[in-house]
Amino acid sequence: MADIDAERLRQLNERSRFYTRHIWQVPFAYVAVIAWTIEKVPLIKNPYYSSLLMIGLGIFSLSVLVFVVHMKYYERRAVKALQEFEQEKGINRKAGGASPWYMSFAWYIRLMLLIAVVAFFLLGFLCLPLPDSWWKLVAILLVACLLAVLLGAILIYDRKRSSELISGIREQMSSQQSAAPDRR
């Protein structure tokens, strides 16, 4: 039975590390891909292609944002499962995972990606060589409204499903700390 518990603990730890690793690695790879792609923009002579490239970068940024949001959620779930296992087995390890927003690397990455999504989409539509500036304004306003709705839905959904996990993790941490003997 102890071997099964040790294996389960190892798997839970590995799952938590897997998600944490992706939260760090993917944004840095994203920045490298974006920098390399933006470096190539001056080589594109056709303004339609450069506009499409910027819109494509906006779509890519949006997909990375969704990926980071999901990775952070699943990281929290892994920490919660680890905490529940530790409590069930009486292990006093105090698995964390509920830092305040200003201490969360993932929060800053989400902010960077939100800004990138909006910037790339707006740049893509600003660079479009439309015959009349009125059409460009309509296109930009339409894109801005659609992005606001889409990004708002993503963030509200993430907040809704994460808030319950975060409160559970904090409760688990406080109950483990109150149950731990004072070692002074």
- Is residue 184 situated within a structural domain? no
Count of structural domains, the chain = 1
Query: Would the pTM count as exceeding 0.85?
Result: no
Please check whether residue 78 is in contact with residue 19, taking contact to mean a CB–CB distance below 8 angstroms.
yes
Neighbours of 124 (CB within 10 A): 22
Residues 95-133 pLDDT 10s: 565 566 566 778 888 889 999 999 999 888 888 887 777
Residues 44-101 pLDDT 10s: 888 889 989 999 999 999 999 999 999 988 888 888 888 888 888 777 765 565 566 5
Residues 86-102 pLDDT 10s: 888 777 765 565 566 56
- Is residue 183 situated within a structural domain? no
User: Is the per-residue pLDDT at 184 higher than 50?
Assistant: no
Mean pLDDT score across all residues of the chain:
83
Please check whether residue 30 is in contact with residue 64, taking contact to mean a CB–CB distance below 8 angstroms.
yes
- Is residue 146 situated within a structural domain? yes
Residues 6-45 pLDDT 10s: 888 888 889 888 988 888 899 999 999 999 999 988 888 8
Residue 82 domain boundaries: 2-177
- Is residue 88 situated within a structural domain? yes
Please check whether residue 112 is in contact with residue 99, taking contact to mean a CB–CB distance below 8 angstroms.
no
What is the percent of the chain where pLDDT is above 90? 22
Give the count of alpha carbons within 13 A of 26, CB side only.
24
- Is residue 128 situated within a structural domain? yes
CA 182 distance to own-chain centroid: 37
- Is residue 53 situated within a structural domain? yes
Contacts 24+ apart (CB under 8 A), 93-99: 94/173, 94/176, 94/177, 94/180, 95/16, 95/173, 96/169, 96/173, 97/16, 97/169, 98/166, 98/169, 98/170, 98/173
